[in-house]
Structure 1
Amino acid sequence: MKRFFFTFIFVLLLSGTAIALTDRPVSHLNDAKITQPSANEFTFIVLGDFRTLRRDKAYPAVFEQILREVNTIAPALIVSTGDAYYGYGGSMQGFKNEIDYFLSRIKGLDVPFFNATGNHEVAGDAERERYAEKRFGRLYGAFDYGNAHFIMLNTDEVGKEGTISGEQLKWLEKDLETNSNAGNIFVFMHRPMFSVTDPELVAGKSFKDKGNRDYLHSLFNRYKVKSVFAGHEHIFNETVKDGVSYFITGGAGSPLYQPPSKGGFFHYLIVKVRGNDVSIDVVVPYTIQARTISGNDGFESKAEMEITNISFAAVDIRNLQFIMPAAAADKYKVRATSISKRGQVNAHAVRIRNVKGNKDGTATVSVETQVPKNGLIRIVVEVDI
């Protein structure tokens, strides 16, 4: 795991919805509710490039694992840098089915899911582009969370692939000016402006126009954009230009392009905002795992789970779920212990975040705690019935 630290300034906005100061607000793609932060602390996750290998293939197992981990971490938001399904070839009905399959996989998440448009979302085809917009809403636009302004760009407008140009560029200039006083500005796109696999932009597979790229960078520099997140290249990379951080995060399940030493490893990013301090952790899937020790079946009044974190950074867990017999919320109790490398057992901070009744006479009890780096936590939930 690699860690990056930045300093941001946050001012709390009291709005209850993610609506930006823009004429092109974009929406998340699942049913999860957006809750604005009550303090200058929140977390969001960035991932990208998890499309299937072919049209007739299931999602990679590593992407399914990332979904499980992300749902357990329960950040405020998930933002994808695109390529959510295969998209190319086959019939139009097959294309529609792929979108249905993608949406079915994120529907059950308890976290709002935003997606930047990639080449696989529209497949370079005007009809598919129109249908994608019908299903997803605007393919570029913006939204706000707290006092952070999130800009979602479309590097794959049909006929303008690999650029931000025309009406979209005019909109971007206006949006940046309108939101120039935002505490933080984050930009998301699919094709990276500063390619690793094609740094001189001669192959035309990532960003295509140096002049357009350099102008965009000048805008981002002028308006003090903090970070730009892209995908497309199935690697992890970070570079800084004039104080603007450019990330390539294309490792959420699609085939990798490079060996691990060159960024070719599966991963996602956890962005933690803590007042004026923001850290970005690169997380490798399967480093966070939970297992049931006893109970957790909806029948037993006591359940015990163990959660491990073998990464190099502490991870805040907000949605570790226990299935318990249904009861009033105040009837549940939770305790946790951490176990050191020497086997020493210590009490560990933990709390019940939410209790949700299920139709089968059980309840889902969500537990919140922090799992230290290279740490193991055992959590017990009991109910008095």
Structure 2
Amino acid sequence: MYGRGFWDSIGYRFLKSVNIQDVLVFTVAVVFFAWEIYALSVGRATARSGLPDNYGNFEKNMRPIESGEQKDSFSFGVVGDPHSSGTFERLCEKLQNEPLSFIVITGDFSKRCRKRYHDFFIYQCANTYDLSVPVFLIPGNRDVDYDNTCGNDISMDQFRSMYGPENFCFEYSGCLFVGVCTFPDHVSSAGGIDYLENTLAARRKKGQKVFVFTHVPSVMKPGLKTGTFKERNRFIEIVNRYEVDYVFASHYHGYARSERDGTVYLVTGGGGAELAETESFGGLHHAMVLAVDGDSVSEKIILAQSRQKPSSRLARASLAYLNPVLAKHTAGSIAVNLLVFAVFCRSFGKCLLRANETKRSIAGR
């Protein structure tokens, strides 16, 4: 079937000389170098593209909403604690099919408050989530080093630079929307509460619907355990005084709804993080869609199954783990690369020697 030229060819003899150890060395080397190249390319692409223009609490993101077409009826999305997960990717796919005017993420959109996890979130925003409407971001305890205990994590100043102010507000179609920064109760959230009070005092209009977004819940359904924040009582007093219609929060990894003094308190923390409860107690991966039509507001829950795409796992591992090591330990990275390359060349050379020995053995017969 094959001529003598094939059997005597260096390629065939080389393949015959390869053993299991060589296959293992070649495979490890190829995977190692391929992952490095991919990680570096993803890192450069993320640095080059940055956060898409429709994400963040910047004035440029709010201005088109306030100055654009005002509608009698509209919808907006709310989701909390996505943790940059694959489940959140699936929720985004479903939110794309909803006629939304904007989306608010109520905190913990990053897996951790280290920059490398924010890099992964930004990569996902630019390459995976495919959300075309404005997306506003409430800072959560996983997004910011709020108590200054970690040193090298994202500070509030860095958050502002990356995503815009932590407190924000805008008006749309006769409704007022206010984002308020709150953190767990061992640190103060007074700045956010002051902002809420001042904003409502200045901009609250009679007959206007008001929606407030924060990370840590102020009111929870009885029996569900979660943290709150120091200024909780003052927050509730302000909400009652200005007759806020809805307060959205997350932090608790699940769904909970309660009403108090005419205000609906919705906890929507099932955006992708590990769930806190069983399904019967609100343990659902979900997002919320609120439809406003005149004086009425309807609520819809968007459900999704937990999942993680292999491509997202690879991107997370590259941006959150490999790239920081390559950047921090440059000399060590070069040394490891040289070592892997040397082992690869050594195995390759041994295979060539064995191939030549095979040729001489055949020639001597």
The CA deviation string for residues 183-212 of structure 1, in whole angstroms up to 9 with x for no partner, is 111000011012459868xxxx62143xx2
In the alignment, structure 1 residue 168 sits paired with structure 2 residue 199 = no
Give the equivalent residue in structure 2 for 1:268.
287
Q: CA RMSD in A?
A: 3.1
- Residue identity opposite 1:278 in structure 2: V
* Secondary structure of 1:246 counterpart: strand
In the alignment, which residue of structure 2 is the partner of 1:151?
178
Match of 1:320 in 2: none
Q: Deviations over 1:6-42 (max 9, x none)?
A: xxxxxxxxxxxx9xxxxxx943898996474443110
Structure with max Cα Rg: 2
Q: Deviations over 1:43-81 (max 9, x none)?
A: 1111111104xxxxxx22x21111111112131111111
Return the structure number with greater helix share.
2
User: What is the identity, as a one-letter code, of the residue corresponding to 1:149?
Assistant: L
User: Secondary structure at 1:123's aligned position in 2?
Assistant: coil
* TM-score of the superposed pair, with normalisation by structure 1: 0.57
Aligned with residue 58 of structure 2, among 19, 22, 27: 27
- AA of the residue aligned to 1:206: G
AA paired with 1:128? Answer: I
Deviations along 1:241-279, one digit per CA (max 9) or x if unpaired, are 111111100011111010011000111111111122211
Residue aligned with 1:131, SS: helix
CA distance in 1, matches of 2:158, 2:97: 32
- Take 2:183 and 2:170, find their aligned partners in 1: how far apart are those partners? 20
Which one scores higher on RCO, CA 8 angstroms, separation ≥ 6? Answer: 2
Name the structure 1 match of 2:257: 238
Change (3 A) 1:29 1:72: farther
Aligned with 2:161: secondary structure?
helix
8 Å CA contact 1:228–1:246 kept in 2: the answer is: yes
Q: Percent of aligned pairs with the same residue?
A: 25
Check whether the contact 1:116–1:190 (CA below 8 A) recurs between aligned residues.
Answer: yes
Residue 77 of structure 2 corresponds to residue 45 of structure 1: yes
Mapped partners of 1:231, 1:76: distance in 2: 21
Q: 1:192 to 1:70 in 2, by over 3 A?
A: same
**1:272-292: CA deviation from partner (whole Å, max 9, x where unpaired):** 111222111122237xxxxxx
User: Which residue of structure 2 lines up, in the alignment, with residue 215 of structure 1?
Assistant: 234
Q: 1:192 to 1:106 in 2, by over 3 A?
A: farther
Q: Which of 179, 183, 193 in structure 1 is aligned with 2:203?
A: 179
Residue pairs, 1:293-332, within 5 angstroms:
none
Code of the residue aligned with 2:210 in structure 1: it is: I
Unaligned runs of 5+ in 2: 1-53, 306-365
Residue 267 (structure 2) pairs with residue 248 (structure 1):
yes
AA in 2 matched with 1:190: H
CA distance in 1, matches of 2:59, 2:220: 27
The answer as to whether partners of 2:113 and 2:154 remain within 8 angstroms in 1 is: no
Shift of 1:99: 4.4
**Deviation of 1:237 (Å):** 0.4
Contact 1:266–1:285 (8 Å) recurs in 2:
yes
Amino acid at match of 2:165: R
Paired residues in the alignment total 244
Classify the secondary structure of the residue corresponding to 2:273: coil
Q: 5+ residue gaps in structure 1?
A: 1-17, 19-24, 53-58, 287-385
Amino acid of the structure 2 residue aligned with 1:267: H
Relative distance call for 1:29 and 1:39 in structure 2 (3 A) is closer
**1:108 aligned onto 2:130:** yes
CA deviation string 1:54-111 (max 9, x = no partner): xxxxx22x2111111111213111111111111246xx5x245234335325773121
Whichever structure has more strand as a proportion of its residues is 1
